Structure 1
Amino acid sequence: MKLKEWIKQFKEKKIIVYGDLVADVYLDGQIARISREAPVFVLEQEREIMVPGGAANTVHNVATLGGDAMAVGVVGDDRIGEELIRVLESKRVNCSGVVTDATRPTISKTRITAGGEATVRQQVVRIDREKKEPLAAPLEEALIGQLLKNIETAGAVVISDYGSHTVGVQARQVALKLCRENGIPCIVDSRYDILSFKGATLVKQNTAETAAAVGYHLDDEAAVERAGKDLLAKLQGEAVLITRGPEGMSLFLKDGAVHHIPVTNRSEVFDVSGAGDTVVATMALAFAAGASMLEAAVLANYAAGIVVRKLGTATTNPAELKKAIEEKHETK
C-alpha cells in the first residue's frame, strides 16, 4: 500500500462534519492551601486553554490534515461559542454551517487540573455544560438546510454524534439519504445510538460502544469478530471499524473480510482523548482521495498513534503522518 501517496491527495478534499460541537476547556493552576470555607484545596489559576472537542475536534483534524473542512452544528450565544468559532476559523475551518441558538449553551467540558511544584498534575474535577433537550424544529431545519446546500460538493461526510442532540432524527436521515443518492461516503461515529444510522458507509465504534449495540461483552478475539459481523449486518453498510485501544483496530467489510490492525506504538500512549475523532477525520479524507477501506483504516491507525502521544484533545498533520509511516517501515 502506498500510504504516503494518499496523504498527498488529502489537500483541499471537502469534508463536512456534522455533529455535536464541543469546547474542551482546561483550567490549570497550583494548589495554594486548604480553604477556610470548606475542607477543599484552593487552586491559584495559572492558565485557561480552550481547544475544539467532539465534532469540532473532528473537523479541526480534517483541517490540520490539509482538507477543506466544513462544520455543521450548533453553538450558544455565549463567550465560549464565540471562542470556539474563532479557533476553528483560525485553523481554516469553514463555519458557515454553524448555527447560533440563544436558548442553549455551547456544549463545554471544563477540566480543572492541579499540582504542586513536586507533584504530577492531576485532573481534580470535570464540569460539563449542555442542554439535554432535542433541538427545536426550526433549528434542526436550519441544519438540514446547510446539509442540502453543501453536501453535493463534499468528498465525504462525517456524522459525529456525542449524544448532545445536535444530530436529530430527521437530520440524520436526510444526511444518510443525500449521501446515498450522491454516492458520497458517510462515516458515522455515534456514542449511544449507532443502530439508528442504518445504511452509513462505515461506522466507527470502540469496544464498549460495540458491546452496548450488540448486547454482549467483547471478552476475547472471537467475541470481537462476532460483534463486528453482527453490527455490520444490523446496519447494512459497507464496513464497521472497531477501535480497541492497545489491541489496535478491527475492520469488518461487507464482503466478509476481516482485518485486525495492530497499534503502531504500544509504549508511548499518554492521552487517548479525541483519538477516535482523529480516526474518522483521517478515514474521511482517505475515502475522498480514493483509498480503499483497508488503506483508509491503516492511515487512521497511524494518525491515532500520533495523537495519543500528545496530552489533551489533539490533532496531527501530513508531515507527522508521513514521518510515522516512514519510521514504522524503517524498523521492520
Structure 2
Amino acid sequence: MSYHLIDLVQSLDAPRILVLGDLILDRYLWGNAERISQEAPVILLREEKQELRLGGAANVANMLRGLDAKVTMAGVVGDDRDGEDMIAALKAVGVDCSTILTDRTRPTTTKQRLIGHAQHRHPHQMLRVDRESREPLELIYATQLLDRIIGQISQHDAILISDYAKGVCTPEVLKRVIEVARDAGKPVIVDPAPMDEYSRYAGATAMTPNRTETGKATERTIRNYTDAFAAGRQLVNQLGLDRIFVTLDKDGVAVVRADGTSESFPTRQREVYDITGAGDMVLATIGLGAAAGWDDADLARMANISGGLEVEQVGVVCLSRDELVRDLLQERSRDENKTYELEFVSRHVQARKQIGQKVVFTNGCFDVMHIGHVSYLKQAAALGDCLVVAINSDQSVRTLGKAPDRPIFPQEQRANMLAALECVDYVVVFNEQTPRKVLEEIRPNVLVKGGTYQINEIVGREIVQAYGGEVLALGETPGVSTTEILARLRGDGPMRFAA
C-alpha cells in the first residue's frame, strides 16, 4: 500500500486551496530549566532563544505550503504587532493574504509557550499564556470577510475550514461559504471546534474531528472503532456530510460514509513528544488529497502518516512531501517481504533518489549463502542509503553454464535468505542472463560486485558509468567461495574453511 501512496504523493501538482478559520500566532520561548527560583517555589527558566510559528488556521495554511499547495488565507487579525507578524510570516512562506481582514475590536490570537529542558533531555512545555477574544465577528467584519471569500471559491480546488472557536467561523459565515462551495462543486473539509453542537457545519463534504470532539458532539464515549463508527454515522446523518474522518490518535482513523459503509485504518505506534499541530496536519493532508481527487481510504492512510510524523516533533512543525515519502519508505522497510517485481522496486528507488538517498545495486546467483556474501553485502549497504540485490532466476542460472544440479536452492528460497539480511532493502529476480535490463530500469548510483571481479569485468558497468554512476569491486573473503563449498559438499575435497 505504501507504494500506491508514494505514487500519489509524487504525482501531486500544486492544487489551489482556500483556508478559512481562526489565525493563531504561536510564540515560543526556549530555555534551560536549570534550578528553582529563590523568590518562589517555581522553576527558573534561563532563556536561550525565541521563535515565532503560525498556529490554528494559519498553521494549516503553512502546512499546505510545505506540501507545495497554492494557498489563500481567509480570516482576521487584530490591529497590533502580533497581527503584523502573522501576516508577514504567512507572506514569507508564500500564502496569499488578500482575504485577511484587520479587526480593530479584537487582539490577534496569540499563544506564548515556555519550553524548558534540563540536563540535555528532551524539552517539554512548561507554561502557556493566551491572549484572545472568543466573541463572534461583528456583522460589519463578517460581511466584509464573506464578500472577499465568495469571489475566491470558484478559483480554488478545495475549501478547508479550521475552527478554533475564536469567533471567525460564525454560523452565518460558514453557511454561506458551504452553500457557494457546494454549488461550485468544490469539496469543503472541516476541522471542527470542540463544542456540543455541530449544526454550523451542515452540508460540508467532510469533517475531521478527533476522539474527544466526536464524543462531545454526539454525547458518546469513543473507546474503539465500533464507538467511532456509531458516532460518525450520527454526525453524517445529522449534518448531511459525504463522509467523516474520526481521528483516534494512537488507534488511527475511522471513516464513515453517507452510504452507510465504514472502514478502520489503524496506524503504527510512534514516539509521541508533542500533539500540538497534529490535527492541523491531518486537515492539511486530507484537504490536499481531496483537492487532488484521492479516495477517502487514501486520505485516511495519509492522515495517519502525516499526523504520526507531527506528534514525533516538539511544537508545530511544517512537513514536506519528501518527509511523507521518506516515512512511507521506512514503513515499507519494516515489511519482512522485500522481494518485489522490477516495476515496484524501480518506483521505490526513484522515490528514494528524489529525496536525496543514494542507491547501491549488486547482483548474483546467491545459490549457497556464505560469509563472503554477507560480508560484501554489508560493505555494499554501507556505501549508500538503500541496497538493491538482483538475483538470477532458476531459469537464468541454468543458462549460465554452471553445474547440472545448479541452482541448489530455488529462487524463492534464495530471495528469502537475502531478504532476511538487515542490510538488504529490496530483492528482485530477473530471468535474463545478465542484469542489464534491471540496471537500465533502476539506474542505481553505485554498482558493486564482490568476489574476484575487476571493475572492467563487472557486467553492466558501461550502463552505470554512462550516466555518471560509480562502479566498485569490493573483493572477496579469502578461502570462501560457492564453488569451493559445493566441491567439498560433493566430496571433492576436505570440509575445511579459513578461520
TM over 0.5: yes
SS of residue in 1 equivalent to 2:149 = helix
SS of residue in 2 equivalent to 1:319 = helix
The answer for the alignment partner of 2:399 in structure 1 is none
SS of residue in 2 equivalent to 1:45 = strand
Distance 2:34 2:320 in 1: 39
Larger radius of gyration: 2
The answer for the alignment partner of 1:125 in structure 2 is 127
Distance 1:178 1:120 in 2: 47
SS of residue in 2 equivalent to 1:49 = strand
The 10-residue stretch of structure 1 (27-36 or 228-237) with the greater mean CA deviation from structure 2: 27-36
The answer for the alignment partner of 1:252 in structure 2 is 256
1:135-166 Cα deviation digits (max 9, x unpaired): 11111112101211211111000011011011
Distance 2:47 2:132 in 1: 24
Distance 2:272 2:200 in 1: 33
Q: Give the counterpart of 1:242 among 238, 242, 246.
A: 246
Amino acid at match of 1:256: G
The answer for the alignment partner of 2:294 in structure 1 is 291
The answer for the alignment partner of 2:269 in structure 1 is 266
Q: Give the counterpart of 2:331 among 325, 328, 331.
A: 328
Distance 1:19 1:249 in 2: 23
Q: CA deviation at 1:226?
A: 1.1
Q: Give the counterpart of 2:28 among 26, 29, 41.
A: 26
SS of residue in 2 equivalent to 1:48 = strand
1:190-214 Cα deviation digits (max 9, x unpaired): 1225332111100110111111111
Q: CA deviation at 1:300?
A: 1.9
Distance 1:124 1:298 in 2: 33
* Higher relative contact order (CA closer than 8 Å, sequence separation 6+): 1
Q: CA deviation at 1:34?
A: 5.0
Distance 1:307 1:73 in 2: 24
Distance 2:176 2:82 in 1: 29
The answer for the alignment partner of 2:433 in structure 1 is none
Q: TM-score with structure 1 length normalisation?
A: 0.94
Q: Give the counterpart of 1:142 among 141, 144, 163.
A: 144
Amino acid at match of 1:316: L
Cα separation, partners in 2 of 1:9 and 1:73, compared to 1, 3 Å: farther
Distance 1:194 1:63 in 2: 28
Distance 1:188 1:16 in 2: 12
Contact 2:225/2:254 (8 A) holds in 1: no
Instruction: List aligned pairs for 1:149-298, cutoff 5 A.
Output: 149-191=151-193, 192=195, 193-263=197-267, 265-298=268-301
Q: Which runs of 5+ in 1 are unaligned?
A: none
Distance 1:182 1:65 in 2: 25
Distance 1:30 1:78 in 2: 30
Q: CA deviation at 1:122?
A: 3.4
Contact 2:281/2:307 (8 A) holds in 1: yes
Q: Which runs of 5+ in 2 are unaligned?
A: 336-499
Cα-Cα RMSD: 1.8
Contact 1:76/1:104 (8 A) holds in 2: yes
1:239-264 Cα deviation digits (max 9, x unpaired): 0111001101111111222121111x
Distance 1:248 1:32 in 2: 38
SS of residue in 1 equivalent to 2:209 = strand
Cα separation, partners in 2 of 1:269 and 1:120, compared to 1, 3 Å: closer
**Matched positions, count:** 331
Amino acid at match of 2:320: N
Distance 1:248 1:262 in 2: 4
Q: CA deviation at 1:38?
A: 4.2
Q: CA deviation at 1:331?
A: 2.4
The answer for the alignment partner of 2:320 in structure 1 is 317
The 10-residue stretch of structure 1 (254-263 or 206-215) with the greater mean CA deviation from structure 2: 254-263
Amino acid at match of 1:241: F
SS of residue in 2 equivalent to 1:153 = coil
Distance 1:33 1:331 in 2: 42
The answer for the alignment partner of 2:98 in structure 1 is 96
The answer for the alignment partner of 2:18 in structure 1 is 16
Contact 1:214/1:230 (8 A) holds in 2: yes
Cα separation, partners in 2 of 1:31 and 1:4, compared to 1, 3 Å: closer
Distance 1:315 1:194 in 2: 29
Q: TM-score with structure 2 length normalisation?
A: 0.63
Contact 1:9/1:289 (8 A) holds in 2: no
Q: Give the counterpart of 2:109 among 104, 107, 110.
A: 107
Distance 1:213 1:74 in 2: 26
Distance 1:296 1:221 in 2: 17
Distance 2:104 2:168 in 1: 14
Cα separation, partners in 2 of 1:121 and 1:305, compared to 1, 3 Å: closer
Q: Equivalent pairs: percent with the same residue?
A: 32
Greater strand share, 1 or 2? 1
Distance 2:122 2:129 in 1: 21
The answer for the alignment partner of 2:50 in structure 1 is 48
